[in-house]
Each structure stands twice: as C-alpha cells, then as structure tokens.
C-alpha cells in the first residue's frame, strides 16, 4: 500500500498529522518538481487508499484520495483557492504565507524558484481508518527567526545569544503558546519556558512541562534535567 507523511520542521513535528487525524486537514499540496521525484509507489491517483505514517514510521491511519489535480501557485485564489485553503485548515492568506515559508528556501536549495508559475500537485482526501487516539497535543518545533522577534516582546533577554543554547516554539493547534530555552553544560540540561502572555492561565502547564522534559530526553539526549527559574526572565513593562 502507498504511504504518506506530512511536512514538519523536524522529525518530531507532527502538527499536520494531528490535523489529518482530527479531520480538519483534508488536502495536501506538493510542488510538482518534488512530486515527480517520488518513487512510483508513493504517487497517488483518485481512489487510492494510502497509509498515513509518522516521521518515525508509525502507521496511524489510512486516507482515500478523493480528488487530484495540478495548478499553478499563482492560480490558488478565488473559489478554488478557498477550497484548497479550507482543506488545509487555513484561510487563503494563511495558506499562501505558510507555503511560502515551507517551500521557498527548500526549493531554492534544490535549484528551483517558487513563483506564480510553479506547478503544485493538489491531493484532496478523506479519512478511511484511524488506528490511534486523536487529541490536541503540544508540539515543540525549532524556533524560526520571526518567532524569535515575537518572543523579544515577552522577555528582556536576547535570543540566540550563545550557540550552545537551543530555542524552540511550542504550538497547540495553530497557536504559538510558549517558547522553550535549553542550555547544556557539564552539569546537565537546563530548561526554561515562558508562556505567551496571551495564553497565560489557558494551558495545562503540568502537561507542557512533561512534554518539554520528554522532548529534551529524546532530541537532546538529556539525562540530568534542571528547571531554571531566574529573575532575569521578566516581561517588558
């Protein structure tokens, strides 16, 4: 059976898979230059049943392809653009912004340009089978430069000051709810998180801390975890 996984910033970023399992994402789009490079057994046709897997090769669901076509990036507008964006659980403006972020630099790295004439393969689908519990989770992902600028308004210290520091953004659904900083030395791994002021009191911080600790152990191979609370981490007033 054919298989598919979904884009993420790293191998632990399964936000789009979560949306698929919840039934709010029913479209996936791929620049044709990348789609054409897929092995034949991974390409789709209308009516195909495809295994949905995580980036760590866990089979979570099956989907059925209900529509399949190619379109120029510049033609994703109007009625068809809104149909695609709705299937991506976003507005049309969000779809364009998110996919420029996701595609532009990687395409440049492969020697291609993202512009209005870039051909996009669009696959609409529906859930056929689910083999896992469906829930809304916290997702830690490598922090982007734009997110770093946002965090500067929550704190009074400079991000990315030292190469040995690791900064992550935490999302729940599409909301940037927290940032996390890890620093490692011979003593252990120090962890600090700051909730976005807009979401204070609205998230389960115990659940968040457990997720951060698990992530540190899996991705940074942390053994001695030290919670770092310091008066230098304060809001701008």
Output the pLDDT for position 207.
93
Tell me what pLDDT residue 69 has: 97
Q: What is the pLDDT of residues 191-222, one digit of tens each?
A: 999 999 999 999 999 999 999 999 999 989 99
Give the Cα separation of 171 and 168 in Å (integer): 10
Q: What is the pTM of this model?
A: 0.84
Bridge partners of 51, per DSSP, are 3, 62
Chain segment 136-167, per-residue pLDDT in tens? 999 999 998 888 888 888 876 556 555 568 89
Among candidates 121, 154, 184, 138, which has minimal Cα distance to 14?
A: 138
The predicted pLDDT at position 164 comes to 66
Task: Report d(CA 29, CA 31) in Å as an integer.
Answer: 7
Q: Which two three-digit tokens encode residue 128? A: 């056929």
And the tokens for 193?
Answer: 């998180």
* The pLDDT of residue 88: 96
Q: What is the pLDDT of residue 41?
A: 78
- Residues of the chain falling short of pLDDT 50: 230-237
């Amino acid at each position: 059976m054919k298989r598919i996984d979904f884009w993420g910033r790293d191998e632990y970023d399964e936000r789009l898979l979560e949306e698929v399992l919840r039934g709010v994402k029913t479209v996936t789009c791929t620049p044709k230059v990348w789609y054409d490079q897929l092995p034949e057994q991974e390409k789709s046709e209308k009516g195909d049943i495809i295994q949905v897997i995580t980036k760590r090769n866990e089979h979570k669901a099956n989907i059925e392809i209900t529509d399949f076509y190619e379109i120029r990036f510049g033609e994703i507008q109007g009625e068809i653009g809104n149909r695609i964006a709705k299937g991506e659980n976003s507005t049309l403006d969000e779809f364009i912004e998110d996919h420029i972020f996701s595609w532009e630099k990687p395409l440049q790295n492969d020697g291609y340009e993202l512009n209005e004439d870039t051909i996009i393969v669009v696959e609409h689908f529906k859930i056929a089978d689910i083999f896992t519990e469906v829930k809304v989770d916290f997702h830690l992902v490598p922090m982007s430069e734009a997110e770093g600028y946002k965090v500067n308004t929550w704190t009074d210290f400079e991000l990315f000051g030292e190469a040995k520091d690791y900064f992550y953004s935490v999302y729940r659904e599409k909301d940037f709810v927290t940032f996390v900083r890890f620093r490692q030395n011979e003593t252990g791994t120090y962890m600090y998180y700051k909730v976005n002021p807009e979401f204070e009191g609205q998230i389960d911080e115990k659940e968040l801390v457990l997720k951060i600790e698990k992530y540190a152990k899996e991705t940074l191979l942390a053994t001695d975890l030290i919670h770092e609370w310091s008066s230098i981490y304060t809001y701008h007033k």
